[in-house]
Amino acid sequence: MQANFSEIQKVIDHIEINFDREVAAHEIESISHYSYRNFQRIFFRLFNETISGFQKRLRLENAYKKLIYTEDSLSEIAWQVGYFNIQSFSKAFKKQYSISPAEARKQKHDIFKKFIKDYKTDLKIEIKYKDTVSVYSKFIKAKDYNNEEIDALWKEIEPDAEIFETAYGIIRDQPLITNHSHCRYGAAVTSDEEIKGLVKSDIFGGKYARFTHYGAYGNILETYRSFYQSWLSGKQLLLDNSDVIEEYEEPEITHIYFPLYE
């Protein structure tokens, strides 16, 4: 069976938007134009996990981000990600991560410790409001945000030269939480015309902490380390669990937008 990746991406987008509830079989059938059983087979073959497992993982990963990014109570977070009581949330979370939600929050610094080490920084962070932007995008699983896989995706979208006026990278997962093999990266561009093979959606729309990476993209992790070091050592901004957006202004200038919790 030949998979229509555009339709598959639409289903994934729908599940991600509605991660806090169980997406019904009829919704998936309506979007994908496959029977639920057939779509389940396609999904598992492509991503090596079931649809229900994917939905559960999204709930718990978003919960983990909220635990370390915000000051919301455990009961509030449980409700926000679709659990109706703290007991069932705590049980599911501990089964997934081998620690309780309360322990995860207390160990926030330990999560970032190995990544940032003793990195020192004078990174300039600005607060920016960004209007919604319509883009055409394609997502891949980029293991641990591997640059070779990301480069290959961009070569597929822009095979000859930089033909789009504005280009963005969408960082959907927090690799310190999400299993490296599940990390997702989206290449997004703006266009007045429909782009075959890409899915139209909106990005931005809200308040962001912006900082800038200068130099080759292959060294961008150093700038992320600077951000997290600054974030952990200073008066902490409350971050949101939604996408981090990279805006590619020039070949060696990348603005990075972290969504802020409001």
Mean pLDDT of the chain, nearest integer: 89
Strands (E), the chain: 126-130, 133-141, 167-171, 184-189, 199-203, 206-214, 244-250, 253-259
Binned at pLDDT 50, 70 and 90, residue 116 comes out as: confident
**Same domain membership, residue 170 and residue 67:** no
- Indicate if 250 and 146 belong to the same structural domain: yes
Same domain, 132 and 254: yes
Show the domain range for 85. Answer: 5-106
The arithmetic mean of pLDDT across residues 177-204, rounded, is 90
Per-residue CA distances from 255 to 9, 147, 189 (Å): 26, 17, 15
When mean pLDDT is compared over 45-54, 67-76, 157-166, the highest value belongs to 67-76
Domain count, the chain: 2
Q: Specify whether 66 is located in the same domain as 132.
A: no
pLDDT at residue number 1: 47
Residues 62, 249: Cα–Cα separation, whole Å: 29
Q: Name the domain boundary from 106, 139, 158.
A: 106
77 has pLDDT over 90: yes
Question: pLDDT tens digits, residue range 12-36?
Answer: 889 999 999 989 999 999 988 889 9
Confidence of residue 162 (pLDDT cuts 50, 70, 90): low
CATH number at residue 49: 1.10.10.60
Same domain (yes/no): 44, 145: no
Same domain, 71 and 169: no
Residues 66, 74: Cα–Cα separation, whole Å:
9
Query: In the chain, pLDDT over 90 holds for what percent of residues?
Result: 58
Q: 132: exposed, middle or buried (C-beta count within 10 Å: 0-12, 13-18, 19+)?
A: exposed
Query: For the residues 50-68, what does the mean pLDDT come to?
Result: 94
Mean pLDDT of 111-124: 79
Q: How far apart are the first and last CA of the chain?
A: 44
Query: Do both 130 and 92 map to the same domain?
Result: no
Q: pLDDT-derived band of residue 130, with 50, 70 and 90 as boundaries? A: very high
| Structural domain includes residue 112 | no
Q: Where on the phi/psi map is residue 123: left (φ > 0), alpha (ψ -120 to 50), or beta?
A: beta
Query: In which band, very low, low, confident or very high, does the pLDDT at 246 lie, cut at 50, 70 and 90?
Result: very high
pTM over 0.85? The answer is yes
Last residue of a domain, one of 106, 135, 160: 106
The reply to whether 241 falls in a domain is: yes
Q: Which of 244, 185, 234, 170 is nearest to 209 (CA)?
A: 244
d(CA 51, CA 258): 28
Q: For Cα atoms 180, 99, 242, give the angle at the middle one, nearest 5 degrees.
A: 50
> Quick check: is 115 in a domain?
no
Same domain for 163 and 241: yes
Has residue 223 been placed in a domain? yes
Question: Is residue 205 a part of any domain in this protein?
Answer: yes
Residue 117: inside a domain: no
Q: Do 61 and 177 reside in the same domain of the chain?
A: no
Q: Which two tokens stand for residue 62?
A: 């978003």
In a domain, 114, yes or no: no
C-alpha distances (whole Å) from 252 to each of 63, 178, 217 are: 34, 28, 7
**Pair 140, 32 in one domain:** no
Q: What's 235's domain CATH number?
A: 3.20.80.10
Q: Say yes or no: 130 and 221 in one domain.
A: yes
Q: Quick one: 78 and 191 in the same domain?
A: no
**For residue 218, what pLDDT is reported?**
86
Mean pLDDT of 190-197: 88
- What's 62's DSSP letter? H
**Domain finish residue from 50, 73, 106:** 106
Asked if residue 120 belongs to a domain, the reply is no
Count how many residues are written for the chain: 262
Whether the CB-CB separation of 142 and 150 falls below 8 Å is answered with yes
